[in-house]
Amino acid sequence: MEMKSETTSIPGNWRLDQFRWKTEQVKLMGKFLAGLKEKQVLGLKCPGCGLVYVPPKPFCRCLERPEKWVEVSDEGVVTTFTFSGTWAFRGFEEADESETRIIVGIKLDGADTLGLSLLQGSDPADVDVGMRIKIRWPDAPEGALKDILFVEPA
Amino acid sequence: MEKQVAIVGYAQTGYGSYVDASREILVLEAAAGALRSAGISREVLDTVVTATNDYMDGRTISNMRLVEPSGAWFKDESKVEMDGAYAVLYAMMRILSGDHDVAMVIGASQASVYPTYIPGVMMLDPTFDRERWLLNEVSAGALQARAYMDAYGATEEQIAGISVKNLRNAAGNPLAVRRMPVLTVDDVMDSRMLYSPIRELNAFPPSDGACSVILASSEKAEQITDNPVWIHGVGFSHDSYLTERPLDKLGSLKQAADRAYAAAGISDAKDQVDVAEVHENFSHEELMAYEALGFCGEGRGSALLESGATKMNGELPVNPSGGALAANAACAAGLARIAEAALQVRGEAGSHQVKGVKTALAHGQTGLCAQENIVFILGGE
Amino acid sequence: MQDVAVIGVGLSKHVSKRRDVNIAELVYEAVSAAYDDAGVSPRDMDAVITGNMPAFEGVNMPELWGAGHWGAYGKPLLRITTGGTTGGSVVHGAFYAVASGMFDTVIAISFEKQSDGDTTMGLNSVGIADFAAILHFGTDPEFLVSAGGGAIGIVAYQATSYMKSSGCTTHHYDKVAAMCRSNAARNPYAHLKQPDITPEDVAKTDMMEYPLRFGHCCPATDGACAMIITSADKAKKMTGRPAYIKSCASCSDEAAIIGIFGGGPAHLDPCSQEGCKKAAEKAYKLAGIKEPRKEIDVAEPYAPFANQLLMFYERLFLCDEGEAPAVLDSGSMEIDGELPVCPSGGVISTNAIGASAMERIAECALQIMGKAGEHQVNKDVHNAVAHGWGGALNLNVVAVLGDTPRR
């Protein structure tokens, strides 16, 4: 057997494809996605502390389980942002970005949580925290998360 | 140890081979259940210690998304990546330091989420053992069983007797997965062979479930409940890797027990312990535990079982809940022994209650072939 | 209840790929150095507290086959793992093991050998359980990964948010990076050593994601750290100048993978870091520190990215919110300044993930014991604060060390 002066790297494969995770979100998302199809953004309100989670979250930090559906606005505010530089991922592969994409953290009016969207109709130089934005709905929403992928200045 | 830390609440979710709930909801149910059992609100907690395993959860930093469901939001939280019994130990250290008063401990795992080989194979030495695909949790346990049988003359039928005792006991435990009131030695011997000499009913049932325990300092414990379960002693130890130690005895369990007994002032375990909850992943481990825990002499485990002393109505009942052979959610299995022992001390075990329990022993283990062991001695007023 | 002290620190050589040793051997370097530093042997240890972040090595609980090499056979052993904060959590565990009176002398061990495993798999495992669900409901995977993929994606939001709230510029981030890397050049155990680097050099590196450049980011390191921790009574007999651990506190905030299920209001402003503030408040209170900015002599905030050094300096109450850039400009954070920050070179220079948060505490101990050598600060160190951060942006650990015991 060949002797090596180095230790061999150990293939640390978890085979994550063999895991079968469970999440209550699957049960909740049907309702949320149906709302998107009607151009409505729905949140789930916690009975304990009143926080509104968008998208819905099945448990709250106060140990209660949010259960009441409420509609929130499709307008909101930018809370943070970034735009792509020379380092970027396209899918799961590292790649060069040909176009600059502005990713914004948004808080919709009536929601208590942060969502991420792509800002269109604005330059990197103009985007700022506190900027008002509105969801740019597709003409025919499909009832999928990508229906709320794009926002534009309100 | 005189009345410094007490168990003041506990909860277990029901166990099952497939529980239709996420890890987060199982943990939330266990956390909320323990708070209800202690009659306190989340605000009273100072610290939360969880026990989960990244490989079993299929998530790096498996505690990071359990902060909210475990009640740990804005609390001093940490995670022990071992059996939950060790999380009890850590929470106890935190309380004894004087910097914390009330601690929540939660262990959880879902066998229906992870691939079956994960707990055994990922723990192996990666250089020599993992790539050869000879060892896994069950085949390693089988080597241990054979070594024990060879050293002390125990038979497969005697080992099956442990399964019969525990799974019959489990009939009285509504949370158990395997509840088998009329099980016989022949039934065990007829069950599917996994790795000789381990058959299906000699091995733990991989389960989903969560268990939680609330601990408090003596001052807080007496405010919270009239019925605290005191931790009188704890001991734990780490043995060598399975290929580097004699497999026919549980050396680190003996060390752990000796330390726990010294702390609790126990000189004759068989006489002074009223009930024991042992974390036996395989039937033969309970026989080995009898010896390591000093319930009988070396090699006398089978004789002790056959004397009936460890049966439900015996002198020293072991695993009235059915033990880990009846339900086994990894990371919660040893913790559940502590919760069950506390139930026995409080007299709340219902149809699997042992009469007149003053002192209870609970055991937890981590690693292959019971490499790491921890022993608690619990008692009432 | 007893007071707790550090009497020995050991570090392995830290580089990006330690191909000459396996995990157990890498850890042995740090462990044996710690035993030597404290003048003790494994026989003197009452217990072993250990941890790492197992995803990157691809092995579950490596102490099961490795710990014999570190002196753990037949001893009580506790494994504590909390991701990026693991090293800090392990020291907290060692602190409580001794403070509880359960043990007198313990060794705390943390490590990471990232080059062993599959790093992509390690990173995917952080969020894949959640990503899988969100992809299922119709999000473009390309967007998802670019928005939250990897630590850099997430910290970029923090960096922009901090610029907005403090009014600082990317030039401040360049200065932080240059300061830390030149400190690292004095530390034989640091990974990226750049003695002559200037902020201008950092500003010329590639833009990763606005506003973070390559030079603002930590490397991936193989390394291990060990500390011998004992009771104050024993420490006094064993060494002339121990470093006392006055307090440990951690605080967990809501989990976030920003924009994905489960983020709560905590992350609307990724710079708020209320968890760090709460942990720091509690640690100072327990340690009897009333005015941290006057009483703390050295700070080791956990900052894998340049912007985080400024943010956490504030969240550790070492100046008012928004003032850290001005403090940086004043030169106070330099190694010969008034309140040196990351004299070790910090996480931005060396990041063996599981060990990083312990190395912050180890550096504070070395500074108090006067054993930091070339990177010893130019002042008497009476009190120092060490910090760790990680999880889903939500776990914080803080420890206060001093040259006198708490009680």
What are the Cα distances from residue B301, in Å, to B272, B284, B293, C84?
18, 9, 10, 45
The pLDDT of residue B32 is above 90: yes
The pLDDT of residue A90 is above 50: no
Task: Quick: pLDDT tens for C122-153.
Answer: 666 777 777 666 667 766 666 665 555 445 66
Q: Report d(CA C31, CA C362) in Å as an integer.
A: 13
Residues of B in contact with A61 (CB under 8 A): 67-68, 73
Enter the pTM of the model.
Answer: 0.95
Task: Tell me the two tokens of residue A100.
Answer: 């600059």
Task: Quick: pLDDT tens for B216-238.
Answer: 999 999 999 999 999 999 999 99
The pLDDT of residue B284 is above 70: yes
Q: Is C72 on the interface with B (CB under 8 A)?
A: yes
Q: C142 vs A90: CB contact, 8 Å cut-off?
A: yes
Distance of residue B32 Cα from the nearest chain A Cα, in angstroms: 7
pLDDT confidence of A145, banded at 50, 70, 90?
Answer: confident
Q: A89 vs C214: CB contact, 8 Å cut-off?
A: no
pLDDT confidence of A13, banded at 50, 70, 90?
Answer: low
pLDDT confidence of B3, banded at 50, 70, 90?
Answer: confident
Q: Which residue of B has its CA nearest to A21?
A: B113
> Exposure pattern of C103-139 as b/e (b: 16+ CB <10 Å)?
bbbbbbbbbbbbbbbbeebbbbbbbbbbbebbeebbb
Q: Is B58 on the interface with A (CB under 8 A)?
A: yes
More confident residue, B132 or C77: C77
Given C115, C133, C152, which is nearest A25 (Cβ)? C133
Show the domains of chain C with their CATH numbers.
4-117+218-400 (3.40.47.10)
Interface test with C, best of B99, B245, B376 (most C CBs within 10 A): B99
Given A61, A79, A130, which is nearest C264 (Cβ)? A61
Length of chain B: 381
What pLDDT sits at residue C257? 59
Residues of B in contact with A20 (CB under 8 A): 112-113
Q: B112 vs A61: CB contact, 8 Å cut-off?
A: no
Q: Is C286 on the interface with B (CB under 8 A)?
A: yes
Q: Which residue of C has its CA nearest to B1?
A: C102
Q: Report d(CA B247, CA C189) in Å as an integer.
A: 41
Task: Quick: pLDDT tens for B68-123.
Answer: 999 999 999 999 999 999 999 999 999 999 999 999 999 999 999 999 888 899 99
Q: B122 vs C59: CB contact, 8 Å cut-off?
A: yes
Given B68, B112, B127, which is nearest A60 (Cβ)? B68
Nearest CA to A70 among A54, A83, A57? Answer: A54
Chains near A, with 3+ CB pairs < 8 A?
A: B, C
Q: How many CB pairs under 8 A join A and B?
A: 57
Secondary structure class of B375 (helix, strand, coil): strand
What pLDDT sits at residue A3? 46
Distance of residue A74 Cα from the nearest chain B Cα, in angstroms: 27
Nearest CA to B145 among B292, B284, B299? Answer: B284
Distance of residue B52 Cα from the nearest chain A Cα, in angstroms: 15
Task: Quick: pLDDT tens for C324-369.
Answer: 999 999 999 999 999 999 999 999 999 999 999 999 999 999 999 9
Distance of residue B115 Cα from the nearest chain A Cα, in angstroms: 6
Chains near B, with 3+ CB pairs < 8 A?
A: A, C
pLDDT confidence of A2, banded at 50, 70, 90?
Answer: very low
The pLDDT of residue A91 is above 50: no
Judged by average pLDDT, the poorest of A57-61, B288-292, C390-394 is C390-394
Work out the mean pLDDT of chain B and round it to a whole number.
96
Task: Tell me the two tokens of residue C313.
Answer: 């300096």
What pLDDT sits at residue A12? 60
Which CATH number is B5-111+206-224 given?
3.40.47.10
pLDDT confidence of B47, banded at 50, 70, 90?
Answer: very high
Q: Report d(CA B146, CA B134) in Å as an integer.
A: 16
What pLDDT sits at residue A1? 35
pLDDT confidence of A5, banded at 50, 70, 90?
Answer: low
Q: Report d(CA C381, CA C384) in Å as an integer.
A: 7
Q: Can the peptide bond before residue C188 be classed as cis, meaning omega within 30 degrees of 0?
A: no
Q: C79 vs B58: CB contact, 8 Å cut-off?
A: no
Residues of C in contact with A131 (CB under 8 A): none
Do the beta carbons of residue B328 and residue B322 sit within 8 Å?
no
Distance of residue C71 Cα from the nearest chain B Cα, in angstroms: 11
Work out the mean pLDDT of chain C and round it to a whole number.
91
pLDDT confidence of C284, banded at 50, 70, 90?
Answer: very high
Distance of residue C88 Cα from the nearest chain A Cα, in angstroms: 24
Q: B238 vs C93: CB contact, 8 Å cut-off?
A: no
Q: Report d(CA B268, CA B266) in Å as an integer.
A: 6
Work out the mean pLDDT of chain A and round it to a whole number.
84
Q: Is C74 on the interface with B (CB under 8 A)?
A: yes
Q: Residues near B252 by Cβ (< 8 Å), separated by ≥ 6?
A: B237, B238, B239, B370, B371, B372, B373, C74
Q: B25 vs A10: CB contact, 8 Å cut-off?
A: no
Domain boundaries, chain B: 5-111+206-224
Q: Which residue of B has its CA nearest to C116?
A: B126
Task: Quick: pLDDT tens for C188-245.
Answer: 999 999 999 999 999 999 888 889 999 999 999 999 999 999 999 999 999 989 999 9
Q: How many CB pairs under 8 A join A and C?
A: 175
Given B98, B125, B237, which is nearest C76 (Cβ)? B237
What pLDDT sits at residue C393? 82
Judged by average pLDDT, the poorest of B177-191, C80-94, C249-263 is C249-263
B contact residues 131-150, partner A, Cβ 8 Å cutoff: none
B contact residues 203-242, partner C, Cβ 8 Å cutoff: 235-241
Q: Is A31 on the interface with C (CB under 8 A)?
A: no
The pLDDT of residue B23 is above 60: yes
Given C1, C83, C125, which is nearest B97 (Cβ)? C1
pLDDT confidence of C120, banded at 50, 70, 90?
Answer: low
Nearest CA to C71 among C111, C39, C112, C27? Answer: C27
Q: C142 vs A142: CB contact, 8 Å cut-off?
A: no
Q: B68 vs A16: CB contact, 8 Å cut-off?
A: no
Q: Is C22 on the interface with B (CB under 8 A)?
A: yes
pLDDT confidence of B55, banded at 50, 70, 90?
Answer: very high
Judged by average pLDDT, the poorest of A96-105, C71-80, C311-320 is A96-105
pLDDT confidence of C265, banded at 50, 70, 90?
Answer: confident
What pLDDT sits at residue C166? 94
